[in-house]
Chains A and B, each alone.
Chain A
Amino acid sequence: MATVIEGKGGFRAWLNKRMPVDQFVADQLTGYYAPKNFNVWYFFGSLALLVFVMQIVTGIFVTMHFKPGEATAWNSVQVMVREVPYMWLIQPMHAVGASFFFVVVYLHMARAMLYGSYKAPRELLWIIGMLIYLALMAEAFMGYVLPNGNMSYWGAQVIINLFGTIPGIGPDLVEWIRGDYGIGDATLNRFFSLHVIALPFIIALLVMLHLVALRQVGSNNPDGIEIKEKLGKDGLPIDGVPFHPYYTVKDIVGVGLFLTLFAVVVFFAPTFGGLFMEPPNFEPANPVSTPDHIAPVWYFTPYYAILRAVPDQKIGALLMAASVVAFLFLPWLDRAKNKSIRYRGAASKILLGTFFITFVVLMWLGLKPADGIYVLLARIFTTLYFLFFILLPFVSKADGNGPVPDRVTYHAH
């Protein structure tokens, strides 16, 4: 780690004597060496942080006009987007931001799976990341319930009732979560509190821990080779470059592209064809009218498809939980010597490729009605989904041990 030489005087010296600002920058940015062979997949970590900040900022402004509660929530959203200056822009930024958050997080996770970034010594980094993902799912679900549209209401009904399948305590637990015999004022107000205070705090804390753990083990790279094992005479990794300015500048390009895409969606397709905001949610909650077809927002649909594929509610709920939790065990299920998919055999490539396709197909199936061919397909792809986790230990052990280059592959641009 670089050591800051204190300035001769002036404000900066005064400040650094009382708070280690320069030392912090040196440790975290200019003295943090990241592999020089990052590719586009490495945009999504910084983009996830960007979306998180965007959600906090837009969320603060949405909260200024939102009135939680059964009687007020729906109207307050209508009033804010129609009557409050520029809330027609800020409220959709928040709603669309949620979907973009998951796009970025899914790509970030896919990157980790491609390059084996969850493998030792980064197991804890991966687990903290998964905890962020779980907290984010809770945050997004509650945010979706808050406006009290009809899909909010019925979606919440379905998801909260999942807890009722837990043997013994289930029914009491559901009543406790709702604070009423059905979804009501109590439910919406506690979700508001959790969505606005508790979960953002938890996510911020986990993000911090994620970064602390990353600084400890260092970033992985597309070759999956540890740059710390090849140090130059100066004791620094020869295949590493300081995060700042090299990757801050690279990330700015990613931010520019991301914000362009984000603006296009917010301005021209905020509902994204009913995918980011579903049509039934443009009607207020109606406890006597279930939408003909209940589907959660797209980022939950892979798990929802798994839930529906099982003709037994308890086993369905159990498999759904297992399908999320399974990711936590990846560091130990993957028994390859090499990290990156680049240095694994064809079987590993097919296995991971099939898993990515399966995830997307399940995502699509979860948006479709649960009848006919869709049920059959959901069962086939649910099987494929779990087959990935079952086969991974054997496939990775068998064909993940080939030779790896001595140095990271890198071509100057």
Chain B
Amino acid sequence: MSDHAATDAVPEVDESRRKFLIAATAGTGAVGAILTAVPFVASWNPSESARAAGLPTEVDLSKMEAGQMTTHFWRKKQIYVVKRTPEMLASLAGHDGELKDPESKESDQPDYAKNAQRALNPDVLVLIAVCTHLGCLPKTRFTPNDATVMANWPGGFFCPCHGSKFDLAGRVFEGSPASLNLAVPPYTLEGDKLTIGVDANQKGNA
């Protein structure tokens, strides 16, 4: 053993060196911890099978009558498809002043549905049946002047959860807790074949 007296003498502590080493160790540890968190956080994203179940849905419109609505599923969301009658289309005019977003500026829809009818072809309305407030299922109230919904009701959708009201293009009325119009999913129309989930512009999966 070497001389204890020499080794027992307290050497001067290099504080800046110690601080640097503490910071470097803590920093490296923190980076490691954050990187390790990545797989755990990412594991919460939809699985491959969930993604596969979200592939496009086809609808045959030839079986639908004018004024009829059918419901479909796409990506676990219910989709409303309405074959609108000329009367229904006429009901869309005249209440722009009562709407929150009459021109769908803020709302979510593909470019080809960013119009007054909110559709590629005015006769066919395709909507995601998820209330833009908090995700309830809006109910159909197609009969005009239904006073139980509101005065001068033009016909449309009514959310039973918190009372949001939408017209027959899914546009939200003032006084509703929802701020945005019902979303339009990407879709294509080829004759009577409606494909929900394939974008008409891109012709690929949305």
Contact = CB atoms under 8 A, between A and B. Distances in A.
Contact of B47 (A179, A288, A294, A370): A179
B204 interface: no
Interface stretch (A78-86, A119-127, A305-313, A401-409): A305-313
Interface in A168-184: 175-184
Q: Which one of A289, A291, A313 has the highest number of Cβ atoms from chain B below 10 Å of its Cβ?
A: A313
Contact of A290 (B45, B77, B136): B136
B76 A316 contact: no
Interface in B73-98: 75-78
B163 interface: yes
Given A190-B44, A316-B177, A287 B78 contact: yes
Interface residues of B, number: 27
B160 A293 contact: yes
Interface in B160-180: 160-163, 175-179
Given A184-B76, A313-B132, A175 B179 contact: no
B136 A181 contact: no
A234 interface: no
Given A184-B76, A287-B76, A370-B163, A313 B44 contact: no
Interface in B4-47: 44-47
Contacts of B71: 288
A175 B44 CA distance: 9
B101 to A, nearest CB: 12
A26 interface: no
B49 to A, nearest CB: 9
Given A288-B137, A370-B162, A181 B50 contact: yes
Contacts of B135: 157-158, 160-161, 164
Given A162-B134, A181-B75, A186-B47, A370 B179 contact: no
B45 A175 contact: yes
Contacts of B122: none
A312 B46 contact: no
Given A308-B177, A310-B177, A311-B175, A161 B46 contact: no
Given A182-B77, A288-B78, A154 B136 contact: yes
A370 B46 contact: no
Contacts of B137: 288-290
Given A186-B47, A308-B177, A313-B178, A157 B134 contact: yes
Interface of A: 154, 157-158, 160-162, 164, 175-184, 186, 190, 287-294, 308, 310-314, 316, 369-371, 375
16 contacts: A154-B136, A164-B135, A179-B50, A180-B46, A181-B76, A183-B76, A186-B50, A288-B71, A289-B137, A290-B136, A294-B161, A313-B133, A313-B177, A313-B178, A370-B161, A375-B163
